[in-house]
Amino acid sequence: MDTDIRSRREASGVALLLGSALSNQTGAAVGALAFDVIGPVGVVAVRQWVAGVALLLLGRPRLRAFTRRQWWPVLGLAAVFGTMNVSLYTAIDRIGLGLAVTLEFLGPLAVAVAGSRRRATLGCVVLAAVGVVVLTRPQPSSDYLGIGLGLLAAACWSAYILLNRTVGRRVPGVEGSAAAGAVSALAYLPIGVAVLIAHPPTPTALACAATAGVLASTVPFLVDLLALRRIPAHYFGIFMSVHPVFAAGIGALVLGEALAPLDWLGITLVVTANAASVLIRSRTGR
């Protein structure tokens, strides 16, 4: 009986993670529909505002009670959060959703590999590197700025993971993440206002950007918390690996970004490397 209950809980947790990934990438694709009107920076600004308000309401951080020791990692997390999103969305604008998100997922892989002492993780690095080469196929006409922005998003995600651990140790519950989201939203206020004045948004563009804030930030935040209560931690890392696949599929459906067979091969190699690194760590404990 206990086994059946646990199996059902884990199955529901996996379903939640898949739903979170679908929501996240759908939000990014919908946000990209507003690029022609307000640009990636305008979309990110609106997304951050919507997400910041939602996270404040959900996390209810007691900001006045934060000490200096708590504020420093929260501010760092806010800076990384804002930089990660603007670099990712600008990369999406230049090289497409599937490629940008796949490059971004090198960040979690780097953290997993850096914390491991197993030789097998080197194989994951090689596999991911081959995947990136296959996916980007470097040549003189390649958009190296777009690729670089995707890699910057990956570096930011690595920093986000590490800072989130520090925030989690110093700030109770989800107050730290909520505070970081609010600070990031405030930082984007002058930038976003300037962009929206220079490029007056249409109601549709604003709706797309706001939808990105809900689907790509607020919904995953809530759903991931629910999922982590139902599944082992290593499941979370494994099923996070579906994001590039969902991004490629949704990019094709929503944005018309057709991918060649080699692109799918590159995505598969990176996803496999990411999932394998999580499995190796979960089985060896390091």
Walking along the chain (286 residues) 10 residues at a time, the average pLDDT comes out as 68 84 95 97 97 90 90 94 96 94 86 70 82 82 90 92 86 88 95 96 97 93 77 68 89 91 90 80 62
Identify the pLDDT of residue 15. 86
29 close to 243: Cβ distance less than 8 angstroms: no
To 10 degrees, what angle do helices 106-114 and 233-240 make? 140
Query: According to the model, what pLDDT value does residue 116 have?
Result: 64
The reported pLDDT for the residue numbered 284 is: 60
Total domains in the chain come to 1
pLDDT of the residue at 40 = 97
Give the other-Cβ count within 10 Å of 57's Cβ: 10
Tokens of 50: 């919507």
Please tell me the predicted confidence (pLDDT) of residue 144: 92
Range of the domain at 221: 2-284
Look up tokens 């892989």; give the residue. 109
Neighbours of 136 (CB within 10 A): 20
Q: How far apart, in whole angstroms, are the C-alpha atoms of residue 65 and residue 62? A: 6
pTM above 0.85, yes or no: yes
* Structure confidence at residue 9 (pLDDT): 76
